[in-house]
Structure 1
Amino acid sequence: MVFDWLKKVSKDYPKFWENYLETFENKPNVSDQKRYVVFDCETTGLDHRKDVILSIGAVAVIDSSVLVNDSLELFLKQELYKPEVAFIHGILKEGKEEKIVEAEAIIRFLEFIKNATLVGHNVNFDIEMINQALKRLNVGKLKNDSMDTDAMYQKFKGLQEDQHSSLDELCKILKVEKSDRHTASGDAFITALVFLKLKKRLAIK
Structure 2
Amino acid sequence: MLSKIFNKEYPEFWKKYTDSFKNPATKYVVISMETSGLDTDKDVIMAIAATSVINNRIILKDSFEIFIQHKAFNETSLDNEFITVSKVDKITESQSVEIILNYISNSILIGHRIDFDIEMLNKLLSKLKLGKIRNEAFDIEAMLNKILETNDKMYALDEMSNILKMPVSNRNSVADDAYSIALLFLKMKDKLGIR
- The alpha-carbon deviation at position 160 of structure 1 amounts to 1.3
Alpha-carbon distance between aligned partners in 2 of 1:165 and 1:179, rounded to the nearest angstrom: 15
Partner of 1:85: 78
Q: Determine the C-alpha separation between the residues in 1 that align with 2:30 and 2:130.
A: 23
Q: 1:190 to 1:93 in 2, by over 3 A?
A: closer
Which segments of 5 or more consecutive residues in structure 2 lack a partner in the other structure?
1-5
Residue aligning to 1:135: 126
**Is the partner of 1:105 in helix, strand or coil?**
helix
The Cα of 1:165 is off from its aligned counterpart by 1.8
2:161 matches 1:171: yes
Alignment of 1:12 with 2:6, yes or no, is no
Q: CA deviation at 1:62?
A: 1.3
1:64 has 2:64 as partner: no
1:77 CA drift (Å): 1.2
Q: CA RMSD in A?
A: 1.8
Deviations 1:96-141 (A, max 9, x none): x221111101110000000000000101111111110000000000
Identify the residue that residue 112 of structure 1 maps to in structure 2: 103
In the TM superposition, residue 69 of structure 1 has moved relative to its aligned partner by 1.0
Q: Secondary structure at the match of 1:177?
A: coil
Instruction: Kindly indicate whether residue 33 of structure 2 is the aligned counterpart of residue 41 of structure 1.
Output: yes
Distance in 2 between residues matched to 1:179 and 1:55, nearest whole Å: 19
Name the CA shift for 1:159/1:94 in 2 (closer, same or farther; >3 Å). Answer: closer
Count of equivalent residues: 189
User: Which one of 163, 170, 193 corresponds to residue 183 of structure 2?
Assistant: 193
Q: What are the Cα deviations for residues 79-108 of structure 1, in whole angstroms up to 9, with x where unaligned?
A: 213424232x4245741x221111101110
1:158 Cα deviation after fit: 1.0
Contact 1:36 1:61 in 2 (8 A): yes
Instruction: Describe the shift of the 1:19–1:91 C-alpha distance in structure 2 as closer, same or farther (beyond 3 A).
Output: farther
Q: Measure how far apart 1:27 and its partner are.
A: 4.5
Large movers: runs of 4+ above 3 Å: 91-94
Give the drift of 1:39.
0.5
CA drift at 1:11: 5.6
Contact persistence 2:158–2:169 (CA under 8 A): no
Map of 1:12-31 to 2, 5 A cutoff? 12-27=9-24
Question: What are the superposed Cα offsets for residues 134-184 of structure 1, whole Å, 9 maximum, x if unpaired?
Answer: 0000000000000000100111111113x2222121011123333351521
Q: SS state of the match for residue 30, structure 2?
A: strand
Give me the TM-score of the superposition, normalised by structure 1: 0.85
> What is the identity percentage for the equivalent residue pairs of Structure 1 and Structure 2?
38
Measure the CA separation in 1 of the matches of 2:166 and 2:83.
25
Residues 42-100 of structure 1, C-alpha deviations (whole Å, 9 max, x = no match): 0111111111111100000112211101111111113213424232x4245741x2211
Moved more, 62-71 or 136-145: 62-71
